[in-house]
Amino acid sequence: MALEKIVIATRASRLALWQAEHVKETLETLHPEMQVELLSLSTRGDEILDRSLSKIGGKGLFIKELEHALLDGRAHIAVHSLKDVPYELPEEFALPAILPRGNSCDAFVSGQYANLAEMPAGAIVGTSSLRRESQIRARYPHLVVKPLRGNLDTRLGKLDAGEFDAIILAAAGLERLGMQDRIRTVLSPEDSLPSAGQGALGIEINKKRTDLLPILQPLICAQSTARAEAERSVSRVLGGSCQVPMAAYAEILNSADDASEETLRIRALVAEPDGSVVYRAEETGPAKDARAMGERVARDLIAQGADQILKRLDQQRHD
């Protein structure tokens, strides 16, 4: 019997609701006979705002409540920002669809300055990300970096209230909500290497719900999937999360009718939180080898000494 209704689990933030609504509209276009509804849920990651993610358990806190809804049958699918999805899912779940990717880069937002280079010594930059913080500290050690939590509107409100001179956000979120005019500069990957999966949307399901796979198949973007596989394989080998200053960014260098002929470039880094040491690695090769390329880049970083940073930070978290 064909499914007559699909319920999408989503976080309650404005950006998450936009993302879920985008998937809802896509499914309704593909399957006009099907009813599609949203189930809005609050997550611990949204509720705990007085501590950094690295201190309260990581990005997985943004998806646990949604996964509960998948298991108990309240929802059929969950829509996530892919960068919030741990590189290893619990065995009950699958990630069958990665959608066409938005802007992967970070955005510099400020009412006073045009870019990071223009900011004077002692100016305050807000970010929730150790990845962003370490790269800013490496290039601009004269700036003060302070933690910034909350949803997009909360973060912008703190900037506008004068708590920060500038903040760094994901460009995709601002663009999706029609707030691209707040972006003073889009930071290039050379300036701020993005997080694995940044700008991409992933759809998670209960692994038992194989009946959903044909419905979701038309949503899959092969290029976005290859890029995500390369980036997430870096995280998998390194054990990376928001608790580690690491980045992984893959791009398709040439589009081809035959996907097997596409070329992919993967860049990654691991840094000391204070930016004093930054290990970098990259590889270019066939996109069909995306996962293996990501693994090799991760092993290159380990060979340089990145594992010592990772081990020390992991020990500090458990002390």
pLDDT tens by residue, 136-179: 999 999 999 999 988 888 999 999 999 999 999 999 999 999 99
Give whole-number Cα distances, 95 to 27, 103, 130, 165, in Å.
17, 21, 26, 38
Q: Distance between CA 194 and CA 129 in Å, rounded?
A: 11
Q: Measure the CA–CA gap between 119 and 123, rounded to whole angstroms.
A: 6
Architecture of domain 106-187: 3-Layer(aba) Sandwich (3.40)
Residue 115 has pLDDT above 50, yes or no: yes
Q: What pLDDT score was predicted for residue 48?
A: 46
Q: Could you confirm whether 314 is annotated as catalytic?
A: no
- pLDDT attached to residue 60: 52
Within the chain, all domains assigned CATH 3.40.190.10 are found at 5-99+200-220, 106-187
Kindly report the CATH number that applies to the domain delimited by 5-99+200-220.
3.40.190.10
**pLDDT confidence of residue 108:** 98
Q: How confident is the model at residue 49 (pLDDT cuts 50, 70, 90)?
A: very low
Q: For residue 178, with 0-12 CB atoms within 10 Å meaning exposed, 13-18 middle and 19 or more buried, which class applies?
A: exposed
The CATH class given to the 228-318 domain equals alpha beta
Encoded amino acid at 9, one letter: A
pLDDT of 257 higher than 80: no
Q: Which pLDDT belongs to residue 240?
A: 62
CATH 3.30.160.40 in the chain, residues? 228-318
| pLDDT at residue 247 greater than cutoff 90 | yes
Asked if 23 and 79 count as a contact pair (C-beta separation under 8 A), the reply is: yes
pLDDT of residue 165: 98
The burial of 135, by beta-carbon neighbours within 10 Å (0-12 exposed, 13-18 middle, 19 or more buried), is given as buried
**20-24, 53-57, 296-300, 305-309: the lowest-pLDDT one:** 53-57
Given the residues 84, 153, 191, 289, select the one marked as catalytic. Answer: 84
Could you give the 3-state DSSP secondary structure of residue 256?
A: coil
CA pair distance 87, 80, nearest whole angstrom? 13
| pLDDT, mean over the chain | 90
Q: Quick check: 46 pLDDT over 70?
A: no
Q: Which residue blocks in 31-93 are alpha helix, DSSP H?
A: 44-47, 53-56, 64-72
Residues with Cβ within 8 Å of 66's Cβ and at least 6 positions away in sequence, in order, are 9, 10, 11, 41, 43, 75, 78, 80, 204
CA distances from 174 to 13, 18, 28, 70, 147 (A): 13, 11, 25, 28, 19
Section 47-55 average pLDDT: 46
Whether the predicted pLDDT of 242 surpasses 70: no
CB atoms within 10 A of CB 165: 19
